Amino acid sequence: MGKPVREIVLASTSPYRAQLLQRLHLPFTTAAPQVDETHLPSEGPSALVQRLAEAKARAVADTHPDALIIGSDQSASHQGRILGKPGIAERAREQLAQLSGGTVTFHTGLCLLDAASGEAQVEDVEYVVSFRRLSDAEIRAYVALDNPVDCAGSFKSEGLGVSLFERMEGSDPTALVGLPLIRLCHWLREAGIAMPPRETRI
């Protein structure tokens, strides 16, 4: 496999995002961005995730001044209300009970920052999940098995969470997990990174 001409940095400590980025067969490093993620007054979910995705990328630019830096942030909204991570099983069950039979829009902010030039591309990639009607027993069983306490919306779409859905709609299913790879590949190609990576032949 040929090496990319630029260092690639994922400004995230999320194992889910790192696993997604590994699909692209590109060498990359991770860096922990120090960013205040407090919502600004009257800031909607789309504006929030785009602002934070770029802020995370720029937060590690000083230590990676020549890199292409990937930042991402995700928020979920239901009936105009931003959903947070439940943190504990009880709150996850409450959140799923509220979402039963409803629709959740996931906003995944993606940023590709060229640290050398300071130029950033930023976008919100949306994905919509419609839940079927869930019984209390189904909710309890799901939370016990998948333990989705660190996930906005209280489910893991890459795990058993798919059993809770009626349908899923969007242009890029990887956006739902937290890193929209279709858009990212497009931006990487524009930045001169071959996608798929070129094989080295002897």
73 as an active site residue: the answer is yes
Amino acid code (one letter) for 163: S
Catalytic residue among 36, 73, 124, 150: 73
- SS (HEC) of 33-50: CCCCCCCCCCCCHHHHHH
Cβ partners under 8 Å of residue 166, min gap 6: 130, 131, 132
Strands 81-83, 68-78: pairing kind = antiparallel
Separation between Cα atoms, residue 174 and residue 49, nearest integer Å: 16
Tokens read off for 24: 């692209």
Active site residues: 73
